[in-house]
Amino acid sequence: MAETWLPWCQKRPGDRSRTGYFLKSTRSLAEIRYQVNHSAEGWEAYLRAGSAPGASWTFSNLQGGKMYQHYPLELPTWTSGGRRQNIDGLAVEHEGVAGQLLNAAQVTNDRRLYEDLNRLCPNMRIPRLGEGFREHGELTNGATACPSGRIQPLYDSYAVVQPPTPPNVWDDIVTIPTKQVTLYVDANLRTLPAGVNIKTLPKGTVLTVSGRYKNSHYLTKYSMDNKKSNGFAISATIDPTPPPLPPEEDDMMKYVAFKGFKAIYALAGGELIHVPNPPVMSYQMGAGNSWSHETHDVNDPDPAKKALARALADLPTQFGKLPKALGGV
Ligand SMILES: [Zn+2]
């Protein structure tokens, strides 16, 4: 397993027997989607171990300005109230108790952490509560008071650069059939139409898109489903190479048509039978009772007929397999 440790955090390895799940001992960075904020309801002396019986967490954010990392990002820890959020999320314990808002040093640590996760984890969500930031109580339907509103200063620190979506922006956004595109350069995800940067999407990221803004930006399916007007430049993307066509009869007909042999294409609509009998290639094509039969010689003196015979001879290698192969005619 690759192990990602953030160099600016103090490494305090925790007990690894208190991480992971049955058949899911590790995760990839692409699986991490948010950080889960907790109130430690305690102090450094408790936090430094990174775990306790039945619990473990990745980061301890201390009031004095230190940040401990107890496990590599790839190990799911146990503290956010369920398997799903322990795998999707990355747990951060905040030193202190209910009633103490995060201090400035803790906000700085959390922002730096988010910045790193946003760079390292391609599916990290945007820095807002309910998206890139989740809370223990929220993820457990209020089963715990944790983190007791203590994280608010962190969310407020982002709120100033997150203008609300103007209601009329949706007039300029159209729904398109869902598809995947690939970034061939780094691209910025921006709020539309304000253009405020939210995060950088690294080159090579594959994104599922289902909306378009003024023909200049794509909106991800996530943005469309959640009514977030966040998009990135269409010009930074390419569509993925389509999968190879299956060896269906229709595709063979298209191939022949593509090669410009209209006479053969006109016979399409029924069964195509390949008769390997070089140098003379014979094909029968037909629909229902109206069969046609043609013989083509790869040594035909007529260049057009010769080219046609060669293209037909090439069909089996183009498609690997034909629907039906018979012996000589
Ligand atoms: Zn908690």
Does residue 138 surpass a pLDDT of 70? Answer: yes
Distance 137 CA to ligand 1 centre (A): 7
* Residue 205 to residue 183: CA distance in whole angstroms: 6
- Return the CATH number of 10-157, one of 3.40.190.80, 3.40.80.10, 3.40.390.10, 3.40.50.300: 3.40.80.10
Distance 114 CA to ligand 1 centre (A): 18
* Residue 109 to residue 203: CA distance in whole angstroms: 27
* Residue 155 to residue 133: CA distance in whole angstroms: 8
As a whole number of Å, the end-to-end CA separation of the chain is: 60
State the pLDDT confidence band at 195, using cuts at 50, 70 and 90.
Answer: confident
- Residues across the chain: 329
User: What digits encode the pLDDT tens for the residues 152-178?
Assistant: 999 988 876 555 666 688 889 999 999
What is the arithmetic mean of pLDDT over 31-40?
A: 96
Distance 271 CA to ligand 1 centre (A): 66
Distance 39 CA to ligand 1 centre (A): 6
Question: Under DSSP, is residue 28 helix (H, G, I), strand (E, B) or coil?
Answer: coil
Distance 79 CA to ligand 1 centre (A): 6
Task: Report the mean per-residue pLDDT for the chain.
Answer: 78
Spell out the residues 6+ positions from residue 246 whose beta carbon is closer than 8 angstroms to its own: none
Domain limits, the chain: 10-157, 168-237, 247-326
Q: Say if pTM beats, i.e. exceeds, 0.75.
A: no
Does residue 117 surpass a pLDDT of 80? Answer: yes
Distance 115 CA to ligand 1 centre (A): 22
Strands (E), the chain: 10-11, 34-39, 51-52, 55-56, 59-61, 67-69, 89-94, 133-135, 173-183, 187-191, 197-201, 206-213, 217-220, 230-233, 237-238, 271-275, 280-287, 290-297, 324-325
Question: What is the pLDDT at residue 184?
Answer: 86
Q: Is the dihedral of CA 241, 246, 252, 253 positive or negative?
A: negative
